[in-house]
Structure 1
Amino acid sequence: MIHTSLVLAADDPAALATFYGALLEVAPQPGLTPSHWRLPWQAGGHLEIYAPSRRRPQPPQQGRLALCLQRHAQDGDPHAALLAWLEQAQALGAAELDPPRQESFGMEAWVLDPEGNRVLLLMLKG
């Protein structure tokens, strides 16, 4: 059986695990080494955050791959729900990349996590 996870290299894995744990509303779990953390996905698998080996560094880089964190607006107002989530992300160290915008499926906003990785916050209708 194959298990699926995403891996994210980090300069400070513990701090980045705390950031994503708060946004995903899950507790970070210690990984295989002191510089490795795991966050369980609700649908299965994990977000693996680790410090890369000094022999094989993983420099930060821009690309087209990004994490997409999704929620449903519980009160029926995706705009207000997204603004609250965006405010939480910024309080945790995220930087707004693109302001919130309305799409046919709900509201979205792009942010940079505390280490500069692109993240899409997606608030779906109802």
Structure 2
Amino acid sequence: MKRSNTSGPSQRQLRVAEEIRHALADIFLRTEFHDAMLAKVHLTISEVRMSPDLKHAMVFCTQLGNKDVTPLLPSLKRVSPFLRSQIAPRLGLRVTPELKFLPDEALEEATKINKLLHTPEVLRDLEK
């Protein structure tokens, strides 16, 4: 029986994504990286999204203090094989997913929407 693609991620995708998020958060907390860009950075892994075949993971991260994480993306790509080797035993999957790091822009979007909702034009329309 084939699943339709219109419903969200499967329960397994969600479970594996959450395990990867916890593992990466633990690794970033306890590991000292030799890469100068990652040495003294505090990253927050906000979300992980898995592909349906569990071979690819999109890792959304932010830097503590609302700093831009974009300059760190090349360094994160370089340490990705090391991170995969560290999370592999924790997952117990046949194939450890490829990790693709992306900046998490959800907070910025929420801030923009909040500012928009507090503009005089919107407040005037809400009062009607």
Calculate the TM-score normalised by the size of structure 2: 0.30
Calculate the TM-score normalised by the size of structure 1: 0.30
More helix by share: 2
More strand by share: 1
